């Protein structure tokens, strides 16, 4: 990686991390907000899901626009939108409707930063190192979330949830300032400007000679139909949807799960909430190490093989972690770390594979479909888990709730294995 590329990648990664700084402040303080507003578990999940809805709305509108406009411009405007939404949540939200509206606005901002930024990264780096570059960028998603949980959890006992949240939103303003210094454009353009159907086998498995997605070309007509005919890309998008279902179920409910275990042991509500957030931050922070490794491994061993191993591992963890809360904190922590590593390691794999499989003329539309379906699943999963928590017997609620996340991982594993068969054997597989 050239020095200029490394500096550029570091800049856009820091911008994403700063945008996400208040992104988990609601999750960190969920039990306190839930008690203050009188929310059920399903309603609490719905507030969190509004963040994913805003994200989904942004990518439907903004990501196809990057086929014709500079994504860097979108990133700059969206970073400010994210700060505004989080600040409004801390200052004005008083219940379910206002809380959802504020977080939806913040989600629009995140969608306008993350996915256009991901496109910029994918376009700048050649195929042989693209998985590693995307992995480093996506790592900021996990580290930003972990830092948000940790710092918000530290501030909760001192400031209360509103002031703690507002501090985090204020700190993310730094990302708005930094976003002025990034620019779009690609280092490498695809010479033929097209996507030969015969190249799918190589590109799904990340062969070194896979062409880089080209610079933005004029969109061809009937882009949606063309995207839907791209079966290898659709199957990898299916894996991403399952990954998002599991990821946002865990991201929304793991910290409250730990807080509930602490509260059941006699810890006060504020202390249990703050400690649960900090413990979840530690687990997710360790898990973030999986992101760059997953991207680099997929460069070497193929996208589908790495994604399949990750889905199988995270799915197994989903099926057991909710049942072991009363057994041992060491066991919960150990399974939690494996869980976080597995659920993060495949994050860059899907996005990298989709950028490689997409027709360059429809790259924005393909990524928009990926993001819309993925974050649609991310919207539904926290609410679905909340419904299970509300209705399941108390002794089984967490086991069944996280088990629902694991069911999605199993479906995703099937989709990725079909993509492997459709696109040809993974490089390095026996």
Q: What is the pLDDT of residues 98-124, one digit of tens each?
A: 999 999 999 999 988 888 888 788 777
* DSSP string over 213-235: PPSPPPPPSSHHHHHHT-HHHHH
Structure confidence by residue, pLDDT tens digits, 403-420: 999 999 999 999 988 888
Mean pLDDT over the full length of the chain? 81
| DSSP state, residue 346 | T
Query: What is the pTM (predicted TM-score) of this model?
Result: 0.77
Q: How confident is the model at residue 4 (pLDDT cuts 50, 70, 90)?
A: confident
Given a contact cutoff of 8 angstroms between Cβ atoms, the answer to whether 239 and 311 are in contact is: yes
Q: What is the pLDDT of residue 253?
A: 94
Q: What's the CA gap between 298 and 352, in Å, rounded?
A: 9
Structure confidence by residue, pLDDT tens digits, 241-299: 999 999 999 999 999 999 999 998 889 999 999 999 999 999 998 988 887 778 778 87
**Helices (DSSP H) in 229-361: which residue ranges?**
231-264, 269-287, 290-301, 303-321, 329-345, 347-357
Given a contact cutoff of 8 angstroms between Cβ atoms, the answer to whether 43 and 93 are in contact is: no
The CATH number assigned to the domain with range 3-181+197-423 reads 1.20.1250.20
Q: What's the CA gap between 279 and 297, in Å, rounded?
A: 28
Given a contact cutoff of 8 angstroms between Cβ atoms, the answer to whether 324 and 335 are in contact is: yes
The residue extents of the domains of the chain are 3-181+197-423
């Amino acid at each position: 990686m050239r020095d200029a590329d490394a500096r550029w990648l570091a800049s856009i990664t820091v911008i994403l991390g700063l945008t996400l700084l208040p992104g988990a402040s609601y999750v960190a303080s969920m039990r306190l907000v839930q008690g203050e507003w009188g929310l059920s578990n399903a309603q609490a999940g719905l507030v969190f899901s509004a963040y994913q809805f805003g994200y989904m709305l942004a990518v439907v509108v903004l990501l196809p626009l990057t086929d014709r406009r500079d994504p860097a411009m979108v990133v700059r405007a969206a970073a400010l939108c994210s700060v505004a939404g989080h600040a409004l949540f801390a200052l004005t939200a008083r219940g379910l409707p206002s809380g959802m509206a504020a977080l939806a606005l913040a989600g629009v901002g995140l969608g306008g930063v993350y996915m256009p930024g991901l496109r910029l990264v994918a376009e700048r780096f050649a195929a042989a190192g693209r998985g590693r570059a995307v992995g480093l960028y996506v790592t900021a998603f996990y580290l930003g979330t972990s830092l948000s949980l940790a710092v918000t959890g530290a501030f909760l006992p001192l400031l209360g949830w509103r002031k703690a949240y507002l501090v985090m939103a204020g700190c993310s303003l730094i990302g708005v300032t930094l976003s002025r210094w990034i620019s779009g454009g690609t280092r490498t353009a695809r010479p033929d400007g097209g996507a030969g159907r015969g190249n799918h086998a190589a590109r799904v498995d990340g062969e070194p000679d896979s062409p880089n997605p080209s610079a933005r070309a004029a969109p061809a007509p009937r882009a949606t139909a063309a995207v839907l005919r791209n079966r290898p890309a659709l199957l990898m998008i299916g894996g991403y949807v399952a990954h998002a279902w599991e990821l946002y179920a865990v991201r929304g409910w793991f910290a409250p799960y730990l807080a509930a275990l602490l509260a059941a042991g006699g810890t006060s509500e504020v202390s249990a909430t703050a400690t649960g957030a900090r413990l979840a931050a530690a687990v997710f922070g360790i898990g973030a190490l999986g992101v760059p490794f997953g991207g680099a491994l997929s460069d070497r061993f193929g996208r589908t093989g790495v994604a399949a191993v990750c889905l199988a591992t995270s799915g197994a963890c989903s099926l057991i972690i909710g049942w072991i809360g009363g057994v041992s904190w060491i066991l919960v922590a150990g399974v939690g770390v494996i869980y976080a590593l597995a659920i993060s390691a495949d994050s860059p794999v899907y996005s990298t594979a989709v950028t490689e499989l997409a027709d360059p003329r429809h790259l924005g539309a393909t990524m928009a479909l990926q993001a819309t379906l993925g974050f649609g699943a991310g919207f539904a999963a926290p609410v679905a888990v909340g419904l299970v928590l509300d209705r399941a017997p108390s002794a089984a609620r967490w086991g069944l709730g996280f088990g629902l996340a694991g069911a999605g991982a199993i479906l995703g594993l099937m989709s990725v294995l079909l993509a492997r068969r459709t696109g040809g054997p993974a490089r390095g597989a026996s």
